[in-house]
């Protein structure tokens, strides 16, 4: 079995996280590439091929009317975890685009939220890829669970 050389995102993560505050710097860089993610001020706490975790701090800007973390902020965190995981993992000859999201809100989100996206390496094949995503509170309780559907396709041949 041959191992794929790291993707650009994985190589960047490995390079930047060697420095103090590297995870914070990497997270800011990602949020600048996809500015909407900056609204939740996410922190990528773990990234390896096929898995990403990001943290959303419970703060006023992400509260809903009952002062818990708004579910749309959590959806944003789950989408970020999925997107960074996909960019760090996808084989070089493939590309991805999101097609949909299906989530269940299972508990109140009254603390910082840890968003996780993870797939198995053999799932990277053309067609639909259902990426399981889960958000946990600081006690490990699942507050949102579901999947994000990706369309995986071959990159067009370069001329």
Q: What is the pLDDT of residues 37-92, one digit of tens each?
A: 888 999 999 999 999 999 999 999 999 999 999 999 999 999 999 999 999 999 99
Query: Locate tokens 């996780």: which residue?
Result: 116
Residue at 142 is within a domain:
yes
- Average pLDDT score, the chain: 94
Q: How confident is the model at residue 104 (pLDDT cuts 50, 70, 90)?
A: very high
Residue at 3 is within a domain:
no
Q: How confident is the model at residue 18 (pLDDT cuts 50, 70, 90)?
A: very high
Question: H helices of 68-157, where?
Answer: 71-89
Q: How confident is the model at residue 30 (pLDDT cuts 50, 70, 90)?
A: very high
Q: Are 88 and 49 in contact (CB under 8 A)?
A: yes
The percentage of the chain sitting over the pLDDT mark of 70, rounded to a whole number, equals: 98
Number of Cβ within 10 Å of residue 39's Cβ equals 13
Q: How confident is the model at residue 34 (pLDDT cuts 50, 70, 90)?
A: confident
Residue 153 belongs to what H/E stretch?
strand 142-154
pTM assigned to the model: 0.93
Residue at 76 is within a domain:
yes
- How far is 144 from 104, CA to CA, in rounded Å? 6
In terms of C-beta density within 10 A (0-12 exposed, 13-18 middle, 19 or more buried), how is residue 40 classed?
buried
Residue at 133 is within a domain:
yes
pLDDT at 133: 98
Number of Cβ within 10 Å of residue 84's Cβ equals 26
**How many domains, the chain?**
1
- How far is 42 from 56, CA to CA, in rounded Å? 5
Please determine, for residue 2, whether its predicted confidence score (pLDDT) is greater than 60: no
Q: Looking at residue 59, which CATH number applies to its domain?
A: 3.10.129.10
Residue at 2 is within a domain:
no
Question: H helices of the chain, where?
Answer: 8-16, 22-33, 71-89
Q: 133 lies in which domain range? A: 8-154
pLDDT at 36: 86
DSSP 57: -
pLDDT at 3: 60
Residue at 25 is within a domain:
yes
Question: What is the layout of strands, in order, in the sheet containing 142-154?
Answer: 43-48, 51-56, 113-118, 127-136, 142-154, 94-105
């Amino acid at each position: 079995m041959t191992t794929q050389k790291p993707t650009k995102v994985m190589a960047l993560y490995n390079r930047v996280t060697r420095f103090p505050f590297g995870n914070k710097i990497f997270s800011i860089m990602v949020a600048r590439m996809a500015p909407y993610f900056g609204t939740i001020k996410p922190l990528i706490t773990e990234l390896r091929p096929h898995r990403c975790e990001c943290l959303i701090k419970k703060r006023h800007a992400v509260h809903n009317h009952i002062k818990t973390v708004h579910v749309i902020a959590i959806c944003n965190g789950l989408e970020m975890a999925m997107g960074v995981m996909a960019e760090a993992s996808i084989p070089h000859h493939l590309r991805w685009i999101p097609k949909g999201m299906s989530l269940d809100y299972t508990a109140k989100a009254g603390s910082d939220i840890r968003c996780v996206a993870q797939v198995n390496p053999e799932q990277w094949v053309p067609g639909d890829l259902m990426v399981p995503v889960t958000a946990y509170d600081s006690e490990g309780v699942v507050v949102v669970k579901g999947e994000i559907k990706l369309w995986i396709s071959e990159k067009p041949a370069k001329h």
